[in-house]
Amino acid sequence: MSADCAVLASLPVTTSLAGCCNQGAQVVCTNGGRVTSLLADVAAPNLSALIDGVARLPALTSLTVRVTGGRTVIPQSIGSLTNLQNLTMANCNLTSPIPISFGSLTNLKSLNLSRNFFSEPFSSLDIDGKPSLVSIDISYNDFIGFLSLNRPRIAFTAM
Ligand SMILES: *[C@@H]1O[C@H](CO)[C@@H](O)[C@H](O)[C@H]1NC(C)=O
Ligand SMILES: *[C@@H]1O[C@H](CO)[C@@H](O)[C@H](O)[C@H]1NC(C)=O
Ligand SMILES: *[C@@H]1O[C@H](CO)[C@@H](O)[C@H](O)[C@H]1NC(C)=O
Ligand SMILES: *[C@@H]1O[C@H](CO)[C@@H](O)[C@H](O)[C@H]1NC(C)=O
């Protein structure tokens, strides 16, 4: 088993990832067995442990997490996923606060936090610190304040 597949097998998910690179669209690997894209289902109490585990996948650039079973917050450890380009945590019952460490996700191209319970200033998203962003979906939340976007290239869904 490759190092990355051993990591996947250890993640506290509710849908098994034991198939690793043969899992279908849920797991995408390089020819060398490095995981580059992952869709993980997790119970709310285990979200933090999941992110800690995912941080041990050095080639991961795309992460979708589906959280079930109650409200929770994004853990601080999300900030260690500095290679992430695509992050989707939509319809996950997530609440504020967005951790300060979110500022470390400087390579994000797309961010989807739609349908959660965030209620804080837009500035928590640190959009200015994410120059590669081309797509943001934060619809169906309760973000507050004004968002002045000087970035016409961004496809923005906020309503
Ligand atoms: C959290 O993960 C552990 C280890 O995989 C598992 O035993 C436990 O049932 C999970 N908790 C929930 C609420 O699913
Ligand atoms: C969100 O939480 C509500 C209860 O507060 C629950 O009914 C619903 O199933 C949860 N949604 C998810 C995706 O876990
Ligand atoms: C990542 O996001 C970009 C911008 O939205 C998109 O073009 C690309 O297809 C996404 N990649 C994956 C693996 O989802
Ligand atoms: C964000 O994720 C939700 C749930 O998966 C999806 O319905 C929505 O289309 C996504 N937004 C974008 C801009 O892709």
Report CA(86)–ligand 3 centroid distance (Å). Answer: 6
Ligand nearest to the CA of 48: 1
- Residue 110: φ, ψ to 5°: -135, 140
User: Which residue in 83, 84, 77, 74 sits closest to 111, CA to CA?
Assistant: 84
Which of the pair, 154 or 106, is modelled with greater confidence?
Answer: 106
Q: Which CATH superfamily is domain 3-157 in?
A: Ribonuclease Inhibitor (3.80.10.10)
Report CA(69)–ligand 1 centroid distance (Å). Answer: 12
Average pLDDT over the chain reads 92
Rama region for 51: left / alpha / beta (φ>0; ψ in -120 to 50; rest)? alpha
Which amino acid, 60?
A: L
Place of tokens 């002045």: 148
- Residue 41: φ, ψ to 5°: -100, 130
Report CA(40)–ligand 2 centroid distance (Å). Answer: 17
Q: What is the DSSP letter of 82?
A: T
Atom of ligand 2 nearest to the CA of 91: 13
Q: Which of 14, 92, 93 is the best mutation target for the ligand 2 pocket, counting ligand atoms within 8 Å of the beta carbon and taking the most?
A: 93
Lowest mean pLDDT of 1-5, 34-38, 48-52, name the range.
1-5
Predicted pLDDT of residue 158: 64
Predicted pLDDT of residue 150: 62
Predicted pLDDT of residue 155: 66
Report CA(68)–ligand 2 centroid distance (Å). Answer: 6
pLDDT per residue over 57-66, tens digit each?
999 999 999 9
Angle CA(20)–CA(89)–CA(52) in degrees, nearest 5?
A: 55
Q: Give dist(CA 146, CA 60) in Å, integer.
A: 33
Atom of ligand 2 nearest to the CA of 92: 13
Mean pLDDT of 53-82: 97
Taking the complete model, does pTM exceed 0.75, yes or no? yes
pLDDT tier at 145 (50, 70, 90 boundaries)?
Answer: confident
Which residue is closest in CA terms to ligand 3's atom 13? Answer: 62
Q: Above pLDDT 70, what percent of the chain?
A: 91
Pairing verdict, β 155-157 and 62-68: unpaired
96, 117 Cβ separation under 8 angstroms:
yes
Which residues, other chains included, contact 43 with Cβ-Cβ below 8 Å and sequence gap of 6+?
12, 14, 67, 68, 69
Mean pLDDT of 117-136: 91
pLDDT tier at 143 (50, 70, 90 boundaries)?
Answer: confident
